[in-house]
Structure 1
Amino acid sequence: MTRSVRRTRRTRLMLRVTGASAAALLALSACSSSDSDSSGSDAAPAASGSPEISGNVTVFAAASLKESFEELGKRFEQEHPGTKVTFSFGGSDSLAASITGGAPADVFAAASPKTMKIVTDAGDASGTPATFVRNQLEIATLPGNPDRIDSLKDLTGSGLKVVLCDQEVPCGAAARKALDASGLKLTPVSYEQDVKAALTKVELKEADAALVYRTDVRAAGDKVAGVEFPESADAVNDYPITLLKEADNAEAAKAFIALVQSADGQKVLTGAGFLKP
Protein backbone atom coordinates (compact mmCIF):
# COMPACT_ATOMS: atom_id res chain seq x y z
CA MET A 1 0.00 0.00 0.00
CA THR A 2 1.48 3.37 -0.93
CA ARG A 3 2.01 6.18 1.55
CA SER A 4 -0.46 8.45 -0.28
CA VAL A 5 -3.25 5.87 -0.09
CA ARG A 6 -2.71 5.38 3.67
CA ARG A 7 -2.78 9.16 4.18
CA THR A 8 -6.11 9.43 2.31
CA ARG A 9 -7.75 6.68 4.42
CA ARG A 10 -6.52 8.26 7.65
CA THR A 11 -7.97 11.60 6.65
CA ARG A 12 -11.39 10.01 5.91
CA LEU A 13 -11.37 8.25 9.30
CA MET A 14 -10.59 11.47 11.13
CA LEU A 15 -13.44 13.22 9.35
CA ARG A 16 -15.85 10.45 10.37
CA VAL A 17 -14.77 10.64 14.02
CA THR A 18 -15.03 14.40 14.01
CA GLY A 19 -18.53 14.24 12.50
CA ALA A 20 -19.67 11.67 15.08
CA SER A 21 -18.30 13.78 17.92
CA ALA A 22 -20.11 16.85 16.64
CA ALA A 23 -23.35 14.90 16.40
CA ALA A 24 -22.93 13.65 19.96
CA LEU A 25 -22.31 17.16 21.21
CA LEU A 26 -25.44 18.42 19.45
CA ALA A 27 -27.51 15.62 20.98
CA LEU A 28 -26.20 16.40 24.47
CA SER A 29 -26.95 20.07 23.96
CA ALA A 30 -30.49 19.28 22.85
CA CYS A 31 -31.09 17.03 25.88
CA SER A 32 -29.72 19.68 28.20
CA SER A 33 -32.00 22.29 26.63
CA SER A 34 -34.99 19.96 26.87
CA ASP A 35 -34.28 19.21 30.53
CA SER A 36 -33.94 22.91 31.24
CA ASP A 37 -37.25 23.67 29.49
CA SER A 38 -38.95 20.81 31.29
CA SER A 39 -37.66 22.02 34.62
CA GLY A 40 -38.86 25.51 33.83
CA SER A 41 -42.29 24.18 32.85
CA ASP A 42 -42.59 22.28 36.12
CA ALA A 43 -41.80 25.42 38.05
CA ALA A 44 -44.38 27.52 36.19
CA PRO A 45 -47.68 28.05 38.04
CA ALA A 46 -50.70 26.04 36.80
CA ALA A 47 -53.42 27.86 34.90
CA SER A 48 -56.21 29.01 37.15
CA GLY A 49 -59.57 27.17 36.82
CA SER A 50 -63.13 28.34 37.36
CA PRO A 51 -63.83 30.32 40.56
CA GLU A 52 -64.51 28.18 43.62
CA ILE A 53 -68.19 27.94 44.54
CA SER A 54 -68.85 28.91 48.15
CA GLY A 55 -70.95 31.19 50.33
CA ASN A 56 -74.66 31.94 50.51
CA VAL A 57 -77.10 31.91 47.59
CA THR A 58 -80.48 33.62 47.96
CA VAL A 59 -83.19 32.33 45.64
CA PHE A 60 -86.60 33.96 45.19
CA ALA A 61 -88.94 31.37 43.67
CA ALA A 62 -92.62 30.84 42.91
CA ALA A 63 -94.48 28.98 45.67
CA SER A 64 -95.18 26.03 43.36
CA LEU A 65 -91.43 25.33 43.18
CA LYS A 66 -91.04 24.87 46.93
CA GLU A 67 -90.63 21.09 47.21
CA SER A 68 -88.52 20.70 44.06
CA PHE A 69 -86.21 23.62 44.79
CA GLU A 70 -85.68 22.59 48.41
CA GLU A 71 -84.55 19.18 47.18
CA LEU A 72 -82.24 20.81 44.62
CA GLY A 73 -80.95 23.18 47.28
CA LYS A 74 -79.86 20.25 49.47
CA ARG A 75 -78.21 18.60 46.49
CA PHE A 76 -76.39 21.83 45.63
CA GLU A 77 -75.03 22.18 49.17
CA GLN A 78 -73.79 18.57 49.07
CA GLU A 79 -72.07 19.09 45.74
CA HIS A 80 -70.50 22.38 46.88
CA PRO A 81 -69.40 22.12 50.54
CA GLY A 82 -69.33 25.54 52.15
CA THR A 83 -72.43 26.81 50.35
CA LYS A 84 -75.85 27.61 51.80
CA VAL A 85 -79.00 28.08 49.71
CA THR A 86 -81.68 30.28 51.24
CA PHE A 87 -85.13 30.34 49.64
CA SER A 88 -87.96 32.84 49.67
CA PHE A 89 -91.13 31.32 48.21
CA GLY A 90 -94.34 33.18 47.41
CA GLY A 91 -96.50 34.66 44.71
CA SER A 92 -94.33 35.57 41.73
CA ASP A 93 -95.79 39.07 41.54
CA SER A 94 -94.96 39.78 45.18
CA LEU A 95 -91.44 38.41 44.78
CA ALA A 96 -90.89 40.51 41.66
CA ALA A 97 -92.05 43.61 43.50
CA SER A 98 -89.65 42.86 46.34
CA ILE A 99 -86.73 42.48 43.92
CA THR A 100 -87.46 45.75 42.13
CA GLY A 101 -87.86 47.34 45.55
CA GLY A 102 -84.28 46.41 46.44
CA ALA A 103 -84.64 43.13 48.31
CA PRO A 104 -81.28 41.27 48.20
CA ALA A 105 -81.44 38.15 46.03
CA ASP A 106 -79.20 36.26 43.62
CA VAL A 107 -81.72 34.23 41.58
CA PHE A 108 -85.34 34.71 40.58
CA ALA A 109 -87.52 31.85 39.32
CA ALA A 110 -91.02 32.99 38.33
CA ALA A 111 -94.16 31.06 37.44
CA SER A 112 -94.87 33.14 34.35
CA PRO A 113 -93.10 35.34 31.79
CA LYS A 114 -95.44 38.20 32.78
CA THR A 115 -94.16 38.34 36.34
CA MET A 116 -90.57 37.91 35.19
CA LYS A 117 -91.09 40.91 32.91
CA ILE A 118 -91.57 43.08 36.00
CA VAL A 119 -87.95 42.36 36.91
CA THR A 120 -86.50 42.60 33.41
CA ASP A 121 -88.32 45.88 32.69
CA ALA A 122 -86.82 47.33 35.85
CA GLY A 123 -83.35 46.33 34.65
CA ASP A 124 -82.79 43.99 37.58
CA ALA A 125 -82.11 40.83 35.56
CA SER A 126 -78.64 39.90 34.35
CA GLY A 127 -79.02 38.58 30.83
CA THR A 128 -82.07 36.97 29.27
CA PRO A 129 -84.26 34.74 31.49
CA ALA A 130 -84.53 31.12 30.33
CA THR A 131 -87.62 28.91 30.55
CA PHE A 132 -86.67 25.80 32.56
CA VAL A 133 -90.06 24.07 33.12
CA ARG A 134 -93.78 24.44 32.40
CA ASN A 135 -96.80 23.76 34.60
CA GLN A 136 -100.45 22.92 34.11
CA LEU A 137 -103.56 23.42 36.23
CA GLU A 138 -105.52 20.71 37.98
CA ILE A 139 -108.56 20.72 40.25
CA ALA A 140 -107.77 19.89 43.87
CA THR A 141 -110.70 18.38 45.75
CA LEU A 142 -111.26 16.91 49.18
CA PRO A 143 -109.78 13.41 49.62
CA GLY A 144 -111.88 10.83 47.79
CA ASN A 145 -113.58 13.60 45.78
CA PRO A 146 -116.89 13.37 47.76
CA ASP A 147 -118.55 16.03 45.58
CA ARG A 148 -117.85 13.95 42.45
CA ILE A 149 -116.17 16.81 40.61
CA ASP A 150 -115.23 15.55 37.15
CA SER A 151 -114.86 18.73 35.10
CA LEU A 152 -114.26 22.45 35.24
CA LYS A 153 -118.00 22.99 34.70
CA ASP A 154 -118.76 21.10 37.92
CA LEU A 155 -117.05 23.87 39.88
CA THR A 156 -119.83 26.28 38.91
CA GLY A 157 -122.45 24.18 40.71
CA SER A 158 -124.31 25.82 43.56
CA GLY A 159 -123.25 24.98 47.09
CA LEU A 160 -119.59 24.30 46.23
CA LYS A 161 -116.94 26.38 47.96
CA VAL A 162 -114.20 26.97 45.41
CA VAL A 163 -110.93 28.86 45.93
CA LEU A 164 -108.82 30.53 43.23
CA CYS A 165 -105.45 32.26 43.26
CA ASP A 166 -105.53 36.03 42.92
CA GLN A 167 -105.61 37.01 39.25
CA GLU A 168 -102.31 38.90 39.62
CA VAL A 169 -100.62 35.64 40.57
CA PRO A 170 -99.65 33.29 37.70
CA CYS A 171 -101.90 30.43 38.90
CA GLY A 172 -104.81 32.88 39.10
CA ALA A 173 -104.12 34.26 35.64
CA ALA A 174 -103.95 30.69 34.29
CA ALA A 175 -107.27 29.81 35.97
CA ARG A 176 -108.89 32.86 34.41
CA LYS A 177 -107.53 31.87 31.00
CA ALA A 178 -108.90 28.34 31.35
CA LEU A 179 -112.32 29.60 32.46
CA ASP A 180 -112.46 32.09 29.60
CA ALA A 181 -111.51 29.35 27.12
CA SER A 182 -114.41 27.21 28.38
CA GLY A 183 -116.87 30.11 28.54
CA LEU A 184 -117.57 29.44 32.22
CA LYS A 185 -118.10 31.93 35.03
CA LEU A 186 -117.01 31.06 38.53
CA THR A 187 -117.38 33.03 41.75
CA PRO A 188 -114.87 31.77 44.32
CA VAL A 189 -115.31 32.08 48.06
CA SER A 190 -111.83 33.62 48.22
CA TYR A 191 -108.81 34.67 46.18
CA GLU A 192 -105.47 33.60 47.64
CA GLN A 193 -102.06 35.25 47.28
CA ASP A 194 -100.26 32.12 46.06
CA VAL A 195 -100.99 28.56 44.99
CA LYS A 196 -99.97 27.01 48.31
CA ALA A 197 -102.46 29.20 50.18
CA ALA A 198 -105.24 28.14 47.79
CA LEU A 199 -104.36 24.46 48.25
CA THR A 200 -104.23 24.81 52.03
CA LYS A 201 -107.89 25.89 52.04
CA VAL A 202 -108.82 22.48 50.63
CA GLU A 203 -106.38 20.60 52.89
CA LEU A 204 -108.01 22.25 55.93
CA LYS A 205 -111.49 21.50 54.51
CA GLU A 206 -112.27 25.21 54.40
CA ALA A 207 -113.05 24.80 50.70
CA ASP A 208 -114.39 21.97 48.55
CA ALA A 209 -112.06 22.57 45.63
CA ALA A 210 -109.34 24.85 44.28
CA LEU A 211 -107.72 25.46 40.91
CA VAL A 212 -104.00 24.88 41.50
CA TYR A 213 -101.05 23.37 39.66
CA ARG A 214 -100.75 19.65 39.12
CA THR A 215 -97.40 19.78 40.92
CA ASP A 216 -99.08 21.08 44.07
CA VAL A 217 -101.71 18.34 43.97
CA ARG A 218 -98.93 15.76 43.71
CA ALA A 219 -96.93 17.36 46.55
CA ALA A 220 -99.99 17.29 48.83
CA GLY A 221 -100.20 13.49 48.62
CA ASP A 222 -103.36 12.02 50.14
CA LYS A 223 -104.43 15.34 51.66
CA VAL A 224 -106.31 16.13 48.44
CA ALA A 225 -107.49 14.41 45.26
CA GLY A 226 -106.66 15.69 41.78
CA VAL A 227 -108.96 16.04 38.79
CA GLU A 228 -107.55 16.80 35.34
CA PHE A 229 -109.56 18.87 32.87
CA PRO A 230 -108.93 19.48 29.15
CA GLU A 231 -109.18 23.29 29.34
CA SER A 232 -105.95 23.34 31.33
CA ALA A 233 -104.10 22.83 28.03
CA ASP A 234 -105.09 26.39 27.12
CA ALA A 235 -103.39 27.79 30.22
CA VAL A 236 -99.97 26.19 30.52
CA ASN A 237 -97.45 28.43 32.28
CA ASP A 238 -93.78 28.78 31.30
CA TYR A 239 -91.40 29.18 34.24
CA PRO A 240 -88.38 31.46 33.57
CA ILE A 241 -85.27 31.74 35.75
CA THR A 242 -82.58 34.42 35.80
CA LEU A 243 -79.47 35.63 37.56
CA LEU A 244 -80.13 39.00 39.16
CA LYS A 245 -77.95 41.97 38.35
CA GLU A 246 -77.27 42.87 42.00
CA ALA A 247 -76.43 39.29 42.99
CA ASP A 248 -73.97 39.19 45.91
CA ASN A 249 -72.76 35.72 44.92
CA ALA A 250 -73.00 35.58 41.13
CA GLU A 251 -70.77 32.52 40.65
CA ALA A 252 -72.74 30.38 43.08
CA ALA A 253 -75.99 31.71 41.64
CA LYS A 254 -74.92 30.67 38.13
CA ALA A 255 -74.02 27.23 39.45
CA PHE A 256 -77.46 26.83 41.06
CA ILE A 257 -79.19 27.85 37.82
CA ALA A 258 -77.01 25.35 35.96
CA LEU A 259 -78.16 22.61 38.36
CA VAL A 260 -81.81 23.52 37.77
CA GLN A 261 -81.29 23.28 34.01
CA SER A 262 -79.15 20.12 34.14
CA ALA A 263 -80.42 16.60 33.44
CA ASP A 264 -80.39 15.87 37.18
CA GLY A 265 -82.32 19.03 37.94
CA GLN A 266 -84.86 18.32 35.23
CA LYS A 267 -85.33 14.80 36.60
CA VAL A 268 -86.28 16.23 40.00
CA LEU A 269 -88.66 18.76 38.44
CA THR A 270 -90.42 16.38 36.06
CA GLY A 271 -90.66 13.86 38.88
CA ALA A 272 -92.67 16.50 40.78
CA GLY A 273 -95.05 16.85 37.84
CA PHE A 274 -93.55 19.75 35.95
CA LEU A 275 -93.48 19.63 32.17
CA LYS A 276 -90.28 19.96 30.17
CA PRO A 277 -89.76 23.41 28.58
Structure 2
Amino acid sequence: MTRSVRRTRRMLRLAGAGAAALMALSACSASSDSKDSSGSSGTSASPQLSGTVTVFAAASLKESFTTLGKRFEHQHPGTEVSFSFGGSDTLAANITGGAPADVFAAASPKTMTIVTDKKEAVGRPATFVRNQLEIATLPGNPHKVASLKDLTASGLKVVLCDRTVPCGAAAQKALDAGRLKLTPVSYEQDVRGALTKVELREADAAVVYRTDVRAAGDRVEGVEFPESAKAINDYPIALLKNAQNAEAAKAFIALVQSAEGQKVLVEAGFLKP
Protein backbone atom coordinates (compact mmCIF):
# COMPACT_ATOMS: atom_id res chain seq x y z
CA MET A 1 0.00 0.00 0.00
CA THR A 2 1.42 3.33 -0.96
CA ARG A 3 1.98 6.16 1.47
CA SER A 4 -0.56 8.24 -0.49
CA VAL A 5 -3.36 5.67 -0.02
CA ARG A 6 -2.62 5.36 3.73
CA ARG A 7 -2.76 9.15 4.08
CA THR A 8 -6.11 9.28 2.26
CA ARG A 9 -7.66 6.58 4.49
CA ARG A 10 -6.42 8.36 7.61
CA MET A 11 -8.01 11.62 6.50
CA LEU A 12 -11.32 9.87 5.83
CA ARG A 13 -11.30 8.31 9.34
CA LEU A 14 -10.64 11.74 10.92
CA ALA A 15 -13.38 13.31 8.85
CA GLY A 16 -15.83 10.62 9.93
CA ALA A 17 -14.96 11.07 13.60
CA GLY A 18 -15.46 14.82 13.29
CA ALA A 19 -18.86 14.37 11.67
CA ALA A 20 -19.93 11.98 14.42
CA ALA A 21 -18.85 14.47 17.09
CA LEU A 22 -20.72 17.25 15.34
CA MET A 23 -23.88 15.14 15.18
CA ALA A 24 -23.59 14.35 18.90
CA LEU A 25 -23.26 18.04 19.76
CA SER A 26 -26.27 18.84 17.60
CA ALA A 27 -28.31 16.17 19.37
CA CYS A 28 -27.34 17.57 22.79
CA SER A 29 -28.23 21.06 21.65
CA ALA A 30 -31.62 19.90 20.37
CA SER A 31 -32.28 18.09 23.65
CA SER A 32 -31.34 21.19 25.60
CA ASP A 33 -33.58 23.37 23.44
CA SER A 34 -36.44 20.96 23.91
CA LYS A 35 -35.93 20.98 27.67
CA ASP A 36 -35.79 24.77 27.74
CA SER A 37 -39.03 25.10 25.78
CA SER A 38 -40.94 22.79 28.11
CA GLY A 39 -39.30 23.94 31.33
CA SER A 40 -36.30 22.27 32.93
CA SER A 41 -38.44 21.08 35.82
CA GLY A 42 -40.88 19.34 33.50
CA THR A 43 -43.81 21.60 34.51
CA SER A 44 -45.81 23.47 31.88
CA ALA A 45 -46.71 27.14 32.06
CA SER A 46 -50.17 28.13 33.26
CA PRO A 47 -52.66 28.17 30.40
CA GLN A 48 -53.67 31.59 29.15
CA LEU A 49 -57.11 32.52 30.45
CA SER A 50 -59.89 33.34 28.03
CA GLY A 51 -63.65 33.34 27.74
CA THR A 52 -66.43 34.62 29.99
CA VAL A 53 -66.53 34.31 33.78
CA THR A 54 -70.10 34.48 35.10
CA VAL A 55 -70.32 35.85 38.63
CA PHE A 56 -73.46 35.89 40.77
CA ALA A 57 -72.93 38.45 43.55
CA ALA A 58 -74.87 40.21 46.30
CA ALA A 59 -76.27 43.61 45.29
CA SER A 60 -74.05 45.40 47.82
CA LEU A 61 -70.96 44.23 45.88
CA LYS A 62 -71.97 45.95 42.63
CA GLU A 63 -69.52 48.89 42.62
CA SER A 64 -66.48 47.09 43.99
CA PHE A 65 -66.94 43.91 41.92
CA THR A 66 -67.53 45.94 38.76
CA THR A 67 -64.19 47.64 39.39
CA LEU A 68 -62.47 44.30 39.99
CA GLY A 69 -64.09 42.84 36.89
CA LYS A 70 -62.57 45.57 34.73
CA ARG A 71 -59.16 45.00 36.31
CA PHE A 72 -59.43 41.27 35.71
CA GLU A 73 -60.23 41.81 32.02
CA HIS A 74 -57.28 44.19 31.73
CA GLN A 75 -54.92 41.70 33.40
CA HIS A 76 -56.20 38.80 31.26
CA PRO A 77 -56.86 39.97 27.68
CA GLY A 78 -59.42 37.74 26.02
CA THR A 79 -61.54 37.34 29.15
CA GLU A 80 -64.86 38.93 30.07
CA VAL A 81 -66.53 39.07 33.48
CA SER A 82 -70.33 38.94 33.36
CA PHE A 83 -72.15 39.88 36.57
CA SER A 84 -75.59 39.17 37.93
CA PHE A 85 -76.25 41.26 41.06
CA GLY A 86 -79.25 40.82 43.34
CA GLY A 87 -80.54 39.51 46.63
CA SER A 88 -78.35 36.66 47.81
CA ASP A 89 -81.30 34.35 48.46
CA THR A 90 -82.65 34.88 44.95
CA LEU A 91 -79.24 34.27 43.39
CA ALA A 92 -78.77 31.11 45.48
CA ALA A 93 -82.17 29.83 44.36
CA ASN A 94 -81.25 30.52 40.75
CA ILE A 95 -78.00 28.56 41.11
CA THR A 96 -79.69 25.54 42.69
CA GLY A 97 -82.34 25.81 39.98
CA GLY A 98 -79.73 25.33 37.27
CA ALA A 99 -78.78 28.88 36.26
CA PRO A 100 -75.29 28.83 34.69
CA ALA A 101 -72.69 30.55 36.87
CA ASP A 102 -69.01 30.13 37.71
CA VAL A 103 -68.71 32.08 40.98
CA PHE A 104 -71.12 32.93 43.80
CA ALA A 105 -70.41 35.74 46.28
CA ALA A 106 -73.10 35.95 48.96
CA ALA A 107 -73.83 38.55 51.64
CA SER A 108 -74.14 35.96 54.40
CA PRO A 109 -73.08 32.41 55.24
CA LYS A 110 -76.76 31.45 55.57
CA THR A 111 -77.50 32.19 51.93
CA MET A 112 -74.31 30.45 50.83
CA THR A 113 -75.56 27.38 52.71
CA ILE A 114 -78.48 27.18 50.26
CA VAL A 115 -75.88 26.44 47.59
CA THR A 116 -73.50 24.24 49.60
CA ASP A 117 -76.32 22.07 50.95
CA LYS A 118 -77.17 21.18 47.35
CA LYS A 119 -73.50 20.32 46.66
CA GLU A 120 -73.30 23.12 44.09
CA ALA A 121 -70.01 24.58 45.38
CA VAL A 122 -66.46 23.25 45.03
CA GLY A 123 -64.64 23.06 48.35
CA ARG A 124 -65.36 25.25 51.33
CA PRO A 125 -66.51 28.86 50.66
CA ALA A 126 -64.07 31.49 51.91
CA THR A 127 -65.05 34.67 53.76
CA PHE A 128 -63.47 37.54 51.84
CA VAL A 129 -65.04 40.63 53.51
CA ARG A 130 -67.54 41.70 56.16
CA ASN A 131 -70.18 44.45 56.11
CA GLN A 132 -71.92 46.59 58.70
CA LEU A 133 -75.29 48.30 58.69
CA GLU A 134 -75.93 52.04 58.58
CA ILE A 135 -79.03 54.21 58.36
CA ALA A 136 -79.50 56.05 55.07
CA THR A 137 -81.51 59.28 55.43
CA LEU A 138 -82.49 62.05 53.07
CA PRO A 139 -79.68 64.51 52.30
CA GLY A 140 -79.23 66.90 55.21
CA ASN A 141 -81.04 64.47 57.52
CA PRO A 142 -84.14 66.70 57.81
CA HIS A 143 -85.82 64.39 60.32
CA LYS A 144 -82.78 64.54 62.62
CA VAL A 145 -82.35 60.77 62.78
CA ALA A 146 -79.52 60.09 65.22
CA SER A 147 -80.17 56.52 66.36
CA LEU A 148 -81.91 53.28 65.46
CA LYS A 149 -84.59 54.13 68.02
CA ASP A 150 -85.40 57.34 66.10
CA LEU A 151 -86.65 55.20 63.22
CA THR A 152 -89.60 54.11 65.36
CA ALA A 153 -90.96 57.68 65.51
CA SER A 154 -94.57 58.07 64.37
CA GLY A 155 -94.98 59.34 60.83
CA LEU A 156 -91.43 58.49 59.71
CA LYS A 157 -91.41 56.43 56.52
CA VAL A 158 -88.77 53.72 56.93
CA VAL A 159 -87.82 50.96 54.48
CA LEU A 160 -86.13 47.67 55.34
CA CYS A 161 -84.81 44.79 53.27
CA ASP A 162 -86.96 41.67 53.35
CA ARG A 163 -86.08 39.44 56.27
CA THR A 164 -85.20 36.59 53.91
CA VAL A 165 -82.22 38.51 52.50
CA PRO A 166 -79.02 39.18 54.47
CA CYS A 167 -79.49 42.95 54.95
CA GLY A 168 -83.03 42.38 56.25
CA ALA A 169 -81.95 39.60 58.59
CA ALA A 170 -79.14 41.80 59.89
CA ALA A 171 -81.51 44.75 60.41
CA GLN A 172 -83.85 42.56 62.44
CA LYS A 173 -80.94 41.32 64.49
CA ALA A 174 -79.92 44.91 65.23
CA LEU A 175 -83.48 45.82 66.20
CA ASP A 176 -83.63 42.81 68.51
CA ALA A 177 -80.33 43.86 70.08
CA GLY A 178 -81.84 47.29 70.80
CA ARG A 179 -85.17 45.75 71.90
CA LEU A 180 -86.92 47.83 69.29
CA LYS A 181 -89.97 47.15 67.12
CA LEU A 182 -90.28 48.78 63.74
CA THR A 183 -92.98 48.48 61.11
CA PRO A 184 -91.57 49.66 57.76
CA VAL A 185 -93.64 51.12 54.94
CA SER A 186 -92.17 48.41 52.69
CA TYR A 187 -89.82 45.45 52.58
CA GLU A 188 -87.47 45.38 49.60
CA GLN A 189 -85.98 42.33 47.89
CA ASP A 190 -82.40 43.58 48.10
CA VAL A 191 -80.40 46.38 49.68
CA ARG A 192 -80.37 48.43 46.48
CA GLY A 193 -84.14 48.46 46.41
CA ALA A 194 -84.24 49.83 49.97
CA LEU A 195 -81.64 52.50 49.23
CA THR A 196 -83.40 53.58 46.04
CA LYS A 197 -86.58 54.33 48.00
CA VAL A 198 -84.64 56.98 49.95
CA GLU A 199 -82.82 58.30 46.88
CA LEU A 200 -86.19 58.82 45.17
CA ARG A 201 -87.60 60.39 48.36
CA GLU A 202 -90.25 57.70 48.59
CA ALA A 203 -88.99 56.97 52.10
CA ASP A 204 -87.40 59.06 54.84
CA ALA A 205 -84.84 56.44 55.87
CA ALA A 206 -83.67 52.89 55.24
CA VAL A 207 -81.45 50.45 57.06
CA VAL A 208 -78.80 49.37 54.56
CA TYR A 209 -75.08 48.59 54.47
CA ARG A 210 -72.58 51.36 55.01
CA THR A 211 -71.02 50.39 51.66
CA ASP A 212 -74.28 51.35 49.96
CA VAL A 213 -74.41 54.67 51.79
CA ARG A 214 -70.88 55.40 50.60
CA ALA A 215 -71.69 54.38 47.02
CA ALA A 216 -74.73 56.68 46.98
CA GLY A 217 -72.56 59.75 47.62
CA ASP A 218 -74.53 62.93 48.30
CA ARG A 219 -77.86 61.32 47.34
CA VAL A 220 -78.26 60.15 50.95
CA GLU A 221 -76.74 60.86 54.35
CA GLY A 222 -75.45 58.08 56.59
CA VAL A 223 -76.08 57.65 60.30
CA GLU A 224 -74.12 55.08 62.29
CA PHE A 225 -75.69 53.25 65.22
CA PRO A 226 -74.10 51.01 67.89
CA GLU A 227 -76.52 48.10 67.46
CA SER A 228 -75.00 47.48 64.01
CA ALA A 229 -71.99 45.93 65.72
CA LYS A 230 -74.27 43.06 66.76
CA ALA A 231 -75.27 42.33 63.17
CA ILE A 232 -72.12 42.31 61.03
CA ASN A 233 -72.38 40.03 57.99
CA ASP A 234 -69.60 37.81 56.67
CA TYR A 235 -69.43 37.57 52.87
CA PRO A 236 -68.39 34.14 51.51
CA ILE A 237 -67.28 33.39 47.94
CA ALA A 238 -67.15 30.02 46.18
CA LEU A 239 -66.33 28.33 42.89
CA LEU A 240 -69.41 26.54 41.59
CA LYS A 241 -69.48 22.88 40.65
CA ASN A 242 -70.88 23.39 37.17
CA ALA A 243 -68.58 26.28 36.29
CA GLN A 244 -68.10 26.53 32.53
CA ASN A 245 -64.83 28.45 32.93
CA ALA A 246 -63.33 27.06 36.13
CA GLU A 247 -59.73 28.25 35.61
CA ALA A 248 -60.74 31.84 34.95
CA ALA A 249 -63.23 31.65 37.84
CA LYS A 250 -60.45 30.56 40.21
CA ALA A 251 -58.33 33.46 39.00
CA PHE A 252 -61.15 35.94 39.63
CA ILE A 253 -61.65 34.60 43.17
CA ALA A 254 -57.90 34.92 43.72
CA LEU A 255 -58.08 38.58 42.64
CA VAL A 256 -60.92 39.24 45.09
CA GLN A 257 -58.88 37.73 47.92
CA SER A 258 -55.59 39.38 46.93
CA ALA A 259 -54.15 42.54 48.49
CA GLU A 260 -55.25 44.44 45.37
CA GLY A 261 -58.80 43.14 45.65
CA GLN A 262 -58.99 43.79 49.38
CA LYS A 263 -57.85 47.37 48.84
CA VAL A 264 -60.74 48.01 46.43
CA LEU A 265 -63.23 46.42 48.84
CA VAL A 266 -62.00 48.28 51.93
CA GLU A 267 -62.10 51.59 50.03
CA ALA A 268 -65.76 50.79 49.27
CA GLY A 269 -66.44 50.52 53.01
CA PHE A 270 -66.17 46.78 53.58
CA LEU A 271 -64.38 45.36 56.59
CA LYS A 272 -61.55 42.88 56.31
CA PRO A 273 -62.49 39.30 57.24
TM-score w.r.t. the length of structure 2 is: 0.88
Write the deviation string for residues 80-119 of structure 1: whole angstroms up to 9, x where unpaired. Answer: 0010100000000000000000000000000000000000
Q: Which amino acid aligns with 1:40?
A: S
Q: Give the counterpart of 1:196 among 192, 196, 209.
A: 192
Q: 1:143 matched to which residue of 2?
A: 139
Asked if 1:78 is matched to 2:69, the reply is no
The CA distance in 2 between the partners of 1:57 and 1:135, in whole Å, is 25
User: Aligned residue pairs: how many?
Assistant: 249
Corresponding residue for residue 10 of structure 1: none
Superposition misfits of 4+ residues, deviation over 3 angstroms: 29-39
Work out the CA distance in 1 between the residues paired with 2:127 and 2:214.
Answer: 22
Counterpart for residue 157 of structure 1: 153
Per-residue CA distance 1:50-88 (angstroms, 9 max, x = gap): 121110000000000000000000000000001010000
Deviation per CA, 1:192-212: give whole Å up to 9, x if none: 000000000000000000000
Counting aligned pairs with the same residue, the percent is 77
Structure 2: which amino acid aligns with 1:131? T
Structure 1 length-normalised TM: 0.87
Instruction: From 42, 46, 62, give the equivalent of 2:38.
Output: 46
For residues 123-172 of structure 1, the C-alpha deviation after alignment (integer angstroms, 9 at most, x for no partner) is: 00011100000000000000000000000000000010000000000000
Q: Distance in 2 between matches of 1:100 and 1:244?
A: 10
1:200 maps to amino acid: T
Q: 1:166 aligns with which of 155, 162, 180?
A: 162
The range that moved more, 45-54 or 267-276, is: 45-54
SS of match in other structure, 1:191: strand
In 2, the alpha carbon distance for the partners of 1:211 and 1:169 equals 13
Gaps of 5+ in 1: 1-28
Residue 237 (structure 1) aligns with: 233
In structure 2, relative to structure 1, the CA distance for the partners of 1:234 and 1:31 (3 Å cut) is: farther
* Residue aligned with 1:241, SS: strand
- Unaligned 5+ segments in structure 2 are 1-19
Distance (Å, rounded) in 2 between the aligned partners of 1:262 and 1:106: 19
In 1, Cα distance between the equivalents of 2:170 and 2:81?
A: 29
Partner of 2:224: 228
For residue 210 of structure 1, the aligned residue among 189, 206, 211 is 206
The residue aligned with 1:133 is: 129
**Is structure 2 residue 103 aligned with structure 1 residue 111?**
no
1:260 matched to which residue of 2? 256
Match of 1:183 in 2: 179
Cα distance in 1 between the residues matched to 2:130 and 2:34: 52
RMSD: 1.6
Q: Distance in 2 between matches of 1:248 and 1:35?
A: 45
